[in-house]
A and B are shown apart, each in its own frame.
Chain A
Amino acid sequence: MLPFSTYEFFLVMGAFIGVLLLCRLWLQDSSYKYVLAGLNLLFLLVFFPQPLHFFALIVYSYFFVYLFSSVLKPKLKIWGIIILLLPMLLVKFDIQLASYPFKVNNLLSFAGLSYASFRIVGYYMDKAPAEKMANPVTYFNFLSFTPTLLIGPIERYGRFQTAESAGFSTLTSDHFITGWNALLKGLVFKYICAEVVDRYWLGGLEGTGFSGLSDYYAYYFYLFFDFAGYSFMALGIGYMMGMTVPVNFTNPFLAVNPQDFWRRFHISLGDWLKDYFFTPLYMFLTRKKSLKKYPITRQNTALLLTFTLMGCWNGFTSNFILSGLLFGLYSLIHNTYVIQCKKKNRDAIFGNMHPKAVRWISIIITFHLTAFALYVFSGRF
């Protein structure tokens, strides 16, 4: 049973919350992480389809993070990142080793591998060489926390550790009500809104060929309700279990530009890419002598590569890569526009138009452009 795949999952989560509330009565805050680890372990062993694959990744990543960050300490972190991402890359490339009778995919692949890999790389990048290795129990909880196991949001180790160290003290009625409201919102998004859009709008268009804008809108709404639904349910259950899970979606339909869109849609992925790919890449390009005189080129190259990587992360197929390139192109154009506005000290396109009108026009343009890029992502054409 995968998280959120059947109604039994919610019963299991209810039981887990009950266990945590009972433990709160008798145990000290310092025991919280052990109880949480016990529950996560129980879920993996009893319900998760490939627990051994998951345990293998945890041991593999812990060993290599230790090796690269505390022993080898290479000047460039890229080698450590490649090793840590290797299982995911082998699965994404679907590599067939001639000496094996089966695909690497069957050996390494499990649901949630990508999200776990992102969290691992985040931890490795954040960890200073002099810093002590993570507590193995906290590290295990960080990667296997049941509500966020499958589909994020992409947690950061520091934030997770802080929330975990608060112990049972966060199992309060306020936390519970916040969690319950988020869970309810997620449930309505995923099991009602996404399902209605899929059955009666998107499904109705299947087999009719391209039906214009309606197709774009339907897929955009479906993807949002489905994904945001998952994220809100994960957030809700996480809160009810005493943890704070980051918000992953805040009204993406109201985004005024591509940059704003990624601050509202799958926020944890946008932040991850900005912190661990865009910024280091931009810094690297800044150090290049040949690019010293071209700050716009540096920014735009970093933007385009970041979004292409985002596309590739979903899979090495043309629709994902093209969708990433499109988002990169949007950001590149927007970035150039912002720089032009700063240079001219006025809006390069809208001139003296009323700010409210500019805002609404921007929302409509961004909505349609992102709907188109997500439609390409869907591979439905």
Chain B
Amino acid sequence: MKLNAPVRFLLNAVLYTAIVVVLYLLYSPLNNHPKNKTGSSTQFVYQQF
């Protein structure tokens, strides 16, 4: 199904916002899960190696 440009833009906007919100919830220092090792909000995408 081919979506028209405004609908596609809207869906993309929703998708990107959702990704950013979930990333923030997972990696923000406010998330006190023991496996969340984010020290500051600038270390946004943190991954242990």
Chain A interface (Cβ within 8 Å of chain B)? Answer: 2, 4-7, 10, 184, 187-188, 190-192, 195-196, 198-199, 203
B19 contacts chain A at the CB level, 8 A cutoff = yes
Asked if A191 and B23 make an inter-chain contact with CB atoms under 8 angstroms apart, the answer reads yes
Q: Is the CB of B22 within 8 A of A192?
A: yes
Residue contact B19 to A203, C-beta cutoff 8 Å: no
Chain A contacts for B27, CB-based, 8 A: 191
A188 with B19: CB separation less than 8 A: yes
Task: Choose one: B33, B43, B47, B49; the contact of A191 (CB below 8 Å).
Answer: B47
Specify the chain B residue showing the minimal Cβ separation from A193.
B22
B:15-34 near A, CB below 8 Å: 19, 22-23, 26-27, 33
**Interface majority SS (helix, strand, loop, mixed), chain A:** helix
B45, CB-defined interface residue at 8 Å: yes
Given contacts A6-B45, A191-B26, 4 further A-B contacts (CB under 8 A): A5-B49, A7-B46, A191-B23, A195-B26
Say whether, besides A184-B19, A192-B23, A7 and B35 are in contact (CB < 8 Å): no
Tell whether, in the assembled complex, residue B22 and residue A7 are in contact, meaning their CB atoms are under 8 Å apart.
Answer: no
Distance from A14 Cβ to chain B, minimum over Cβ atoms (Å) = 13
**Chain B residues whose C-beta falls within 8 Å of the C-beta of A195 in the assembled complex:** 26
Interface residues of B (CB under 8 A from A): 19, 22-23, 26-27, 33, 35-36, 43-47, 49
CB–CB A10/B19 < 8 A: no
Do residues A6 and B47 form an inter-chain contact, with CB atoms below 8 A? yes
Q: List 6 A-B contacts (CB under 8 A).
A: A5-B47, A7-B43, A10-B45, A191-B23, A192-B19, A195-B26
Contact present for A187 and B19 (CB under 8 Å):
yes
In the complex, the chain B residue whose C-beta lies closest to that of A188 is B19
What CA separation (Å) do A7 and B24 show in the bound complex?
13
Q: Which residue of A lies closest to B22 (CB)?
A: A192
Contact of A199 among B19, B33, B43, B49 (CB under 8 A): B33
Q: How far is the CA of A188 from the CA of B16 in the complex (A)?
A: 10
A7–B33 CB distance below 8 A: no
Find out whether the CB atom of A196 lies under 8 angstroms from the CB atom of B26: yes
CA distance A7 to B44 in the complex (A): 7
Given A188-B19, A199-B35, A7 contacting B45 (CB threshold 8 A): yes
Q: Which residues of chain A have C-beta atoms less than 8 A from B36's C-beta?
A: 199
A residues in contact with B44, CB < 8 Å: 7
Option from A4, A5, A6, A192 in Cβ contact (under 8 Å) with B26: A192
Q: How far is the CA of A4 from the CA of B45 in the complex (A)?
A: 9
Interface pair B47/A4, CB less than 8 Å apart: yes
* Inter-chain contacts of A4 with B (CB < 8 A): 47
- How long is the Cα–Cα vector from A7 to B40 in the complex, in angstroms? 13
Q: How far is the CA of A184 from the CA of B49 in the complex (A)?
A: 21
Contacts of B49 in A (CB 8 A): 2, 5
Q: Which 10 residue pairs are nearest across A and B when measured between Cβ atoms? A: A7-B45, A199-B35, A5-B49, A192-B22, A7-B44, A199-B33, A5-B47, A195-B26, A203-B35, A2-B49
Name the residue among B22, B23, B36, B45 with the largest chain A CB count within 10 angstroms. Answer: B45
Least CB distance, A24 to chain B, in whole angstroms = 26
A271 CB, nearest partner CB in chain B, Å: 27
Q: Which residue of A lies closest to B19 (CB)?
A: A188
